[in-house]
Amino acid sequence: MGSIEVDILGQKYTIKGEAPEEYMKKLAAFVDQKLKEIHSSSPTIAPLKAAILASLNIADELHRLREEHENAARTIEEKANALTGLFD
């Protein structure tokens, strides 16, 4: 397990994990960008509130992508079943 130091909103954090260093840096940069978006729209927002709002934005994005993935998988399965039916 490796550890790296990342910068999020000007604060240094040490992250430990088994993922490659570049991946962990990419995640930290993503979180940093989401927090900066919150701060740019509301510069006086408290850091905790900004973190919660950024978390909600990330959760929304995740759930929307999961739903799109499930819909695509369902469509592919339906089309595969229809094509398989042509060969029966």
Residue 88 has pLDDT above 90, yes or no: no
This model's pTM is above 0.85:
no
Spell out the residues 6+ positions from residue 12 whose beta carbon is closer than 8 angstroms to its own.
Answer: 5, 6
> Tell me, what's the pLDDT at 87?
84
What are the residue ranges spanned by the domains of the chain? 2-87
- For residue 2, list its beta bridge partners: 17
Per-residue pLDDT reduced to its tens digit, 15-55: 999 999 999 999 999 999 999 999 999 999 998 999 999 99
Per-residue pLDDT reduced to its tens digit, 50-85: 999 999 999 999 999 999 999 999 999 999 999 988
